Amino acid sequence: LNDASGNRALTAALLDWYADHQRILPWRQSDDPYAVWVSEIMLQQTRVATVIPYFERWMERFPDVTTLAAANEDEVLHCWQGLGYYSRARGLLQGARMVIGRFDGRVPADVGDLCLLPGVGPYTAGAIASIAFGKDEPVVDGNVIRVLTRLFALPGDPTKAPLKRELWELARALLPAGRAAEFNQAVMELGALCCTPRSPLCGECPVRGSCLGFRQGEATRFPELAKRVKVTRIVHVAALVRNGDRILVTQVPLNASLWAGLWRLPTVELSAAETEEAASVRAVAEATGLTGVDAGPVADLVHHVTRYRVHLKLRTVKTSAEPPTDRSNQWLRPANLDELAMPAPHRKLVAGLIGGAPDQ
């Protein structure tokens, strides 16, 4: 840590810079705790540019906690469709109901209470408490970690003790009393716009005079994150079963770890020694209990889920009888794709069928 006057100078320089350089973002136009909460949850795994239209749509559809708490899960998932990591949407819905039932309809201001809401951890709680309620609470997210480890040339893995704890203490010690909202956002904004991961713009940085990483000529050495987990490649085979101008879609079981409750094409993971033809037939059998015959490839695409690179292959399957529709199987007209909440890769495949291949 620098001395107290050094820290004050650093804080003042950051606040001045933020006043001039902050981006205009829809959630910064209000200090409504609900809006801040929604934006922070959306931003947890997603870039700002992607979040903006989703945030605007969400706030139009669910403008306050009461409206959200009264919504059903399908509507909520539908509004979230395409943002990924759907447990965040479910967490918001459960959280809204908790706010109504337990906190008298008001988003709590206390960090401990905020952490009771599903999907809200110390970072998100600190962000809501400081930004929406003006409390002197610090935040430590990826941007803050990068900025602080560089400013103070802090070695070690910031995701593990003791550095993790040290970063929270440092972020708290730097807070200018009564201005935590601006300060927290200033550090995060510096990380997003200036102190970027690979090529920080140190020449334009308002705090380079106090930056040990910069002075030592090794800013990008920090943070010393553990090596990324290796990406594993897997193949998923999806089945296209047609009935006139409609296609079969199936609901992902509610206890699945990914995409629970969403609708997708019947899909299985290709197992070792299995052909894609056999896998497409298995996908239909697992979804409907019917036997089928593979009738060839239709389309494919690659997407990423956590540490997996998924090659998703769509193949036509003709079934021995018309698959029954029930709670977990439905017929969907690709043109009516918007009626169901569908994970982005499956949505893309189905959208590709609109006006595409003739009925087979």
Rule CB under 6 A: which residues touch ligand SF4? Answer: 147, 150-151, 194-195, 200-202, 205, 207-208, 211, 213-214, 219
Least Å from the CB of residue 214 to ligand SF4: 4
Is 286 considered catalytic here? no
Can you name the residues that pair with 159 across neighbouring β-strands? none
- Edge to edge, what strands does the sheet with 292-305 contain? 267-269, 232-240, 308-319, 292-305
Burial 77-111 (b: 16+ CB within 10 A, else e): bbbbbebbbbebbbbbbbbbbbbbeebeeebbbeb
Least Å from the CB of residue 196 to ligand SF4: 8
How far apart CA 301 and CA 309 sit, in angstroms, is: 11
Structure tokens at 328: 């977990």
Least Å from the CB of residue 198 to ligand SF4: 12
**What type of residue sits at position 179?**
R
Q: Could you say which of 40, 137, 182, 189 is catalytic? A: 40
Half-sphere exposure (CA, 13 Å, Cβ side) for 333? 5
Measured from the CB atom, the residue of 126 and 213 that comes closer to ligand SF4 is: 213
End-to-end Cα distance, the chain: 69
Measured from the CB atom, the residue of 194 and 237 that comes closer to ligand SF4 is: 194
Measured from the CB atom, the residue of 153 and 278 that comes closer to ligand SF4 is: 153
Provide the phi-psi class of 261: left if phi over 0, else alpha when psi is between -120 and 50, else beta.
left
Neighbours of 39 (CB within 10 A): 24
Least Å from the CB of residue 127 to ligand SF4: 20
CA 26 to chain centre: 18
Measured from the CB atom, the residue of 195 and 353 that comes closer to ligand SF4 is: 195
Q: What SS3 class is residue 285?
A: helix
Measured from the CB atom, the residue of 193 and 332 that comes closer to ligand SF4 is: 193
Measured from the CB atom, the residue of 201 and 344 that comes closer to ligand SF4 is: 201
Mind giving me the DSSP string for 332-350? E-GGGGGGS---HHHHHHH
Least Å from the CB of residue 1 to ligand SF4: 15
Least Å from the CB of residue 199 to ligand SF4: 10
Cis peptide leading into residue 162 (ω within 30°): yes
Query: Catalytic residue numbers?
Result: 40
